[in-house]
Structure 1
Amino acid sequence: MSIGKAEYLRTLTVSTLQNRSVPVGTELDGSSPPSIFIGSAGYPRVYAGPLITPEHGDTGIYDTPESWIPAQKSQEEIIGYRLSLVRGKRLVETTDIHSRFVSQLQEIVLSDTSVESEAAFLEVPTGFSLSEEHAPFGPSASIDTLSCEPVRWNHHLERVFYDTDLLARDAVINLHQEKVPFSAIQKAFSAGTMGNGKKRHLVP
């Protein structure tokens, strides 16, 4: 008997959770792989925010699916990575891409490396998310403040960001031809960093 992806993930995650505990309080000092999450519920007013792990340094493996198979990562390791990502969330308009908070999210996804980050939450992050629509992630909570260290942007993503006349579909094609990882393109697209300047918006 076959089971759906979501149910399979839940079954696999039970054993992972039994052996893994990531202590998270109302303040988190760690690293973003870099990664963000843009929700879809309530569109065009959605929850958006960074994904941050309590680990420091290079945490790119946590959110780079292209590297999991070449690195021979086990299913348990991958689930462990994903459940270590703490999601900060704030309700934003998908068209409000010039706000300070959304600009911070854009800076995260445009980064060429992991981003040292500090976040303060309005409550202790709890739970985890398993879905057929997105990769799993760990506890979440409403975010109060976010601080990120300055980073070097990926030069391919940076060029697309500043080209406000380049259509989003052409930007995606160009980035793929330049061998930018699909996951990086997807996150940059979701953060509204490409396309016609007047039409840019967050994409769940």
Structure 2
Amino acid sequence: MTQLFNSKLCAVCKGRKLLCGRPTCPILERFRVAKRVEERLNKRHLFGSSPPSIFVGEYGYPKVRIGPLVPPIEGNTSHLDNPLKWENNTIKDILYYRSLLVMGETTADIHVRRSGRILGEVQELAMSIRPVDSEILLKRKPVFKVLPSEFAPPIGPKAELLDFELTENPKIPRRTDYVVSDELKAEQAIMRLYNWGFDEYYIIRLLSAGLLGLDKKLVPTRWSITAVQDTIGNNLRREILSYPEINDYEVYFYEFLGNRYAILLMPESYAFELLEVWLKGSLFGSEAPSVIHDYEDFRGRTGYVKETAGAYHAARLSVLEALRARGRQARIVVFREVTPKYYASVGVWQIRLGVKKAMENPVGRFSMLNEALEAIKRRLEHPFEKYLARSHILGSLARQKTLDEWLGKNLYRLTE
């Protein structure tokens, strides 16, 4: 993986010539966003309505940095930290939303029983389903930083927290109170909340705040995102294994925030694969982009996702939800192509939403695999033979000669 910025190239370009190939200079874009909100955040004492939102860092574990995120705005601020509402927003919009959320940082032990009043306030904030009027006092004026992360949405300005207080009662559902107070394992708690209709971002917040599980601990936000999406995905995988297979080859496609998502469903028993390419000029792209991938069969994975990380769990969950709704199973290949339009990483939520929208946007159903692959090839930029060469599922089918002799006779059509 290349570095995010090339200092020599940036010095020559100065954000004007776009020598990196991106349509927007990510350095200048973040500077513009910071200047846009600077006056509103240039103070140590802030009062506003938290969306609600919290963040738990991973560095220093088991001593972690945790804090509430509070904007200098009162009222309905839920859109500032709700990816479900960002479907029609641009990357610039999202960077602006996140820049308004000031994080007051404090250090806490992951064992929540050892922490004090401020953590208790943060936990109450995490359980709320509506914005909560909050007050934070910082040691100094917040410093604006946006670090690239493929997991969580960007974090805006932050500073050391001296005090935090909720100035109104949070709206906490009875079912949340029940799950938090009951003796449930984390997986049981996650699935109970999910099946009751709570969205996963709310569940992620509860897990991060140390409210779920038998041995309640703070969980870094990045880990919580993966843990919740992986837990729900594994449960859905086991469920759909009892469903009949689809009847045709199905192709779906959607482009979202500079990411292209093509999904191939095959009329065979469940397996899942994500193939991902960061094209030249994209955020983490290189001069010679390569395909990375991860795979599982009906047994699921026994270890960590090695190459595609959080993108894997986000993409898998969206496809599994669509199959569960239909009462069907399929063999799944997801193609993710990241273009230069994706100039700032905004978190795996965009993969979750992008694949979900793709599953709502069918290209067509096909009786032959070659027809389905042709439909996908037309929508992607990276040489298609490189996808085929890297794919475990498609390569396995070729080796087993279950392509109706197609690969042997027609592979050249996809590599032209």
Q: Same fold (TM over 0.5)?
A: yes
Paired position in structure 2 for 1:45: 63
Between the aligned partners of 1:9 and 1:173, the Cα distance in structure 2 is 41
Q: TM-score, normalised by structure 2?
A: 0.44
The unaligned stretches of length 5 or more in structure 2 are: 5-21, 221-416
Between the aligned partners of 2:174 and 2:134, the Cα distance in structure 1 is 21
SS of structure 1 residue aligned to 2:41? coil
- Choose the corresponding residue for 1:118, options 132, 135, 138: 135
User: CA 1:27/1:15 → structure 2, altered by over 3 Å: closer, same or farther?
Assistant: closer
- Choose the corresponding residue for 1:187, options 194, 205, 220: 205
Paired position in structure 2 for 1:84: 100
Map 1:4-153 to 2 at 5 A: 10-11=26-27, 12-21=29-38, 22-69=40-87, 72-97=88-113, 99-132=116-149, 133-148=151-166, 149-153=168-172
Does structure 1 retain, via aligned residues, the 8 Å contact 2:45–2:135?
yes
Deviations 1:167-186 (A, max 9, x none): 11111111111121111110
How many residues end up aligned between the 2 structures? 196
Between the aligned partners of 1:19 and 1:32, the Cα distance in structure 2 is 20
Between the aligned partners of 2:36 and 2:121, the Cα distance in structure 1 is 34
Structure 1 position 19, deviation (Å): 4.0
Partner letter of residue 67 of structure 2? Answer: G
Higher relative contact order, structure no. (Cα contacts within 8 Å, ≥ 6 residues apart):
1
Does structure 2 retain, via aligned residues, the 8 Å contact 1:84–1:137?
no
Q: TM-score, normalised by structure 1?
A: 0.88
Between the aligned partners of 1:116 and 1:26, the Cα distance in structure 2 is 17
SS of structure 1 residue aligned to 2:164? strand
The unaligned stretches of length 5 or more in structure 1 are: none
Point out the structure with max Rg over C-alpha.
2
Between the aligned partners of 1:127 and 1:19, the Cα distance in structure 2 is 11
Structure 1 position 3, deviation (Å): 8.8
Does structure 2 retain, via aligned residues, the 8 Å contact 1:113–1:151?
yes
Partner letter of residue 96 of structure 1? Answer: V
Range with greater deviation from structure 2 (99-108 or 19-28): 19-28
Partner letter of residue 87 of structure 1? Answer: M
Between the aligned partners of 2:92 and 2:191, the Cα distance in structure 1 is 33
Partner letter of residue 26 of structure 1? Answer: R
SS of structure 2 residue aligned to 1:123? coil
